[in-house]
Every structure is written in C-alpha cells, then in structure tokens.
Amino acid sequence: MTTPVRLVVVDDHPVVRAGLAALLAADPSIEVVGEAASAAEAVVVTERRRPDVVLMDLQLGDGVDGVGATRRLLALDPAPRVVILTTHESDADVLASVEAGACGYLLKDAPAAELAEAVRTAARGGTVLAPVVARRLDERRRSPEPVLSARELDVLRLVAAGEPNREIARALFLSEATVKSHLVRAFGKLGVTSRTAAVASARSRGLIR
C-alpha cells in the first residue's frame, strides 16, 4: 500500500481551513497532519509534523503573507513542497509565489479531485498550476516584462502604500541604503526615474496591486 501524502493546511479563516482539511482528509491517499492560521504557526507545525506538502493561503493575518510564509518554510531542512491555494490570480501574486519557490498555484474554486491530485503531484516533485495561471505565465514568457526581484517588489509595494524609506527599511529588516539600492535597480528595470512613476508602471504591468 502506498504511504499517504502528509499534508499541512494553512489558512487564517477557521471555517475554510477546517473545510479544506476535511475535504482532503477524505481522500485515502492524503493524511492531513496539521493546520495553521499564520506564517509563524505554519513554521512550527511544519517543523513538528514534517509534511510532504503544505497547502498555503496567500492572505494571512499575522503581517506575513503566504509568499513570506513560503520563503520561511522552504528555508527549513527538510523543506516541504508548497502549493498556493488562493482566491487571488493577479500577475503580481503569481510571480511573487513562483519566485518564492512555490511549486503550485491553484484557485479556491478548484474541484476537490483537482486539489487532491495537485497535492499528490506536488509530493512527487511536480508542478501544479491553475489553467488561468498557466496561460498567464506562458503569455509572460512570450512577451517578457522586466523581472523584478522579490525584494524589489516588496519595496515597491510599501512605496505604493506611501511608506518612506526609513519605514520600509524597518518593515523589511533592511538598511535604508539597501532600500535605496533596490529602488534604483527597480527604476532601471522599469525605465522610470521616480517613485511615483515606478509604482504606476509596476501597477500597469500587474507586478503589484
């Protein structure tokens, strides 16, 4: 008999989390070994339960989103495979998730059988993408946009929120000089010369919300 895939479900909405866990636990090929409501909980549960796969929501309530949580989980040894499961399908979210190391990106309207198959595929080392996400990535490959690093995107998101460099540095645990360096590189990639223009360009390209 094949050993079931060990799964942890991360979502900050208790009802959604419980529903996903119950849905996937009903599949005999999957064993739900833990649940978490935040990035910090996800790390603790993953270290304790050693899952093969973590199903990760993007919007978490503890100040660290699913992308940040994914980075934390993939820094563990051993690291699980991470599949994003969300209602968001913006290019910015998809790109940030892929760059963080997620092996899959699915939408919450996916059928139960598709979710279960995605978990099994991820456990085998495969990649799983919702059809709409796969199309967007394919279109982006054909017409490549400037590729901003995860940190450059983090900085631009905070610039878009109106934060000055000092607060951005504090939020991201960086020096102000490093924040400025990220901004200069982002300006160059986007072909702009100001913070306002950088935010407008990144938004129009779907790199940030």
Same domain, 10 and 101: yes
Domain with 30 in it: what CATH number?
3.40.50.2300
Structure tokens at 150: 């995860």
Give me the number of domains the chain comprises.
2
Is a pLDDT exceeding 80 seen at residue 140? no
Same domain, 63 and 35: yes
Same domain, 128 and 168: no
Q: Is 50 within a domain? A: yes
Give the pLDDT confidence score for residue 139 in this predicted structure: 67
Domain with 165 in it: what CATH number?
1.10.10.10
Domain termination site, one of 91, 109, 141 = 141
Is a pLDDT exceeding 80 seen at residue 136? no
Give the pLDDT confidence score for residue 90 in this predicted structure: 72
Q: Bigger pLDDT: 66 or 35? A: 35
pTM of the model: 0.68
Same domain, 102 and 25: yes
Inter-CA distances, 86 with 17, 110, 154, Å: 12, 10, 19
Structure tokens at 39: 């990035």
63-112 residue pLDDT tens? 788 888 999 999 999 999 999 998 876 777 787 788 888 999 998 888 99
Helix 195-204 × helix 176-190 angle, to 10°: 60
Task: Please name which of 144, 162, 54 lies closest in space to residue 95, comparing C-alpha atoms.
Answer: 144
Q: Is 209 within a domain? A: no
Same domain, 18 and 120: yes
